[in-house]
Structure 1
Amino acid sequence: MDFPDSIKQQTCRDCLSGQSLGFEIRMAFQPIVDWHKQHIVSYEALVRGPQGEGAGWVFERVNEENRYYFDQACRVKAIETAARLGCNTYLNINFLPNAVYNPETCIKATIEAADMYAFDMTKLIFEVTESEQIIDKDHLQRIFSSYSKRGFKTAIDDYGSGFSRMDWLTDLRPDILKLDMQLIRDIDQSHDKQKIVRDVANVCRLQGTQVLAEGIETKEELDCLLDLGIHLFQGYYLAKPTLEELAKVPFEVL
């Protein structure tokens, strides 16, 4: 069903205003790079408070009453801000699966925002984080399936910290698997961590899932992961998140 422009604009304005949240949200962006190609392939949108307060400040104000509206508002704010900044890469948006009661219904504001701000919907990647307690794998599968049919890419974030079970990975079959920073930290010094990454990467390779290592903080970590066959990276070593700005990556000095 198509909506008149006036209704589309009002729906997005409602999400952008944050009135139902009781507080304003803004977005910071952190680049994700393809090391082999030496370029930025995506930016992850990270929620911040009105004065740039961290995600912790924001999530302290999210509850059962505003969870759904918060999820919707974050999607719209990420798209609006990325479009305003001229983002022409992929855009990673985090979502709360427990706030999605029906995938088809809950995606409407996202589609309206992409249309309203002229952002290419095929460049949207939806991430579910392991810090979000998942109690219904079938529900998450339905979300992933619905989003894939729409042409969106899907990702599991922070793999290795929450529901990091191999059956979730093989059943959900995300386009991208993001390895948790605790698994990445000092991986160059840990044979156990290297074995875990190697095993996970082998499974992902067989099912067509790309592996992304996040939380890269040292050259040694990056070099070790390159040796393990990983080439998608995100972390402070490359670039920190910047508020309402698309940071560049100084490949030439890394």
Structure 2
Amino acid sequence: MAFQPIVDVTDGSIFAYEALVRGVDGSGAGAVMSKVTHDNRFAFDQLCRRRAVELAARLGMTTRVSINFMPNAVYQPELCLGTTLAAARRSNFPIDRIMFEVTEGERVEDRPHLVNILNEYKRQGFTTAIDDFGAGHSGLNLLAEFQPDVVKLDMDLVRGIDTSRARQAIVNCVTRLAYALDIAVVAEGVETRDELAALRRLGIKLIQGYLLAKPAFEALPAIDAAALKTRRRAAA
């Protein structure tokens, strides 16, 4: 796993660290995911959960660890949580500091099953998030059936938002909708100070991207203090 922080740019605090799958040779998520099949998907999903929690504890993480899960690998939510709960107990890592993300881009044929998974996770005390919001198969229909704790805006909506009137309008509407439903909003893939400034003007304070920190392999990366200082000067 590599870890990348989600930063609250109002004060520089860490909201969560997302656990990003990597190969043992350092290869990226795409290379790893290409080897996931129907036959090994459940075992892979369970291993990722366990490894993320164990590493979070070993690294002394004091905020949330965000874990992507594969809904098509979950046959019964309460039973499939056993590995995560056992890893949290062994590692003495509080379950209320575990956030589960489901990627909106993953096609789920049985949406009621996905909603059932998310409801069970929330009932168990986990934070829930919809990742890549705005780029997938569910969108507002999923949001109407289940309100997660967090939505993470797809990076294609964020990229170049400072010069795109259309992206600004879309993100503004999605953000207002989320806040009306008491859902936090994370902007992913932020790479420039101008993008950060535009997102702040739209009321988004939770930021993830290379501008603030690149993922670090089995480590917690430092935040780029210069980017935050630039933001504070601009806000002033």
TM-score, scaled to structure 2: 0.94
CA RMSD of aligned residues (A): 1.0
Within 5 Å, give how 1:48-127 maps onto structure 2: 48-127=22-101
Preserved contact between residue 211 and residue 224 of structure 2 (Cα < 8 Å) = no
Counterpart of 2:157 in structure 1: which amino acid? L
**Which whole-Å deviations, capped at 9, do the CAs of 1:113-136 have from their partners, x for residues lacking one?**
000011111100000012321222
Distance 2:23 2:197 in 1: 35
Q: 1:83 to 1:103 in 2, by over 3 A?
A: same
Distance 1:84 1:38 in 2: 23
Give the Å deviation of 1:163.
2.1
Indicate whether 1:155 and 2:129 are aligned.
yes
Give the Å deviation of 1:164.
4.9
Within 5 Å, give how 1:1-254 maps onto structure 2: 27-254=1-228
TM-score, scaled to structure 1: 0.88
Aligned length: 228
Distance 1:164 1:139 in 2: 13
The percentage of aligned residue pairs carrying the same residue is 49
Preserved contact between residue 42 and residue 89 of structure 1 (Cα < 8 Å) = yes
Preserved contact between residue 40 and residue 249 of structure 1 (Cα < 8 Å) = no
Preserved contact between residue 7 and residue 13 of structure 2 (Cα < 8 Å) = yes
**Which whole-Å deviations, capped at 9, do the CAs of 1:208-241 have from their partners, x for residues lacking one?**
1101000000000000000000000000011110
Give the Å deviation of 1:60.
1.2
- In structure 1, the gaps of 5 or more residues are 1-26
- In structure 2, the gaps of 5 or more residues are 229-236
Give the Å deviation of 1:251.
2.5
Which 4+ runs in 1 deviate beyond 6 A? none
Distance 2:19 2:13 in 1: 18
Q: In structure 2, the residue corresponding to 1:48 is in which secondary structure?
A: coil
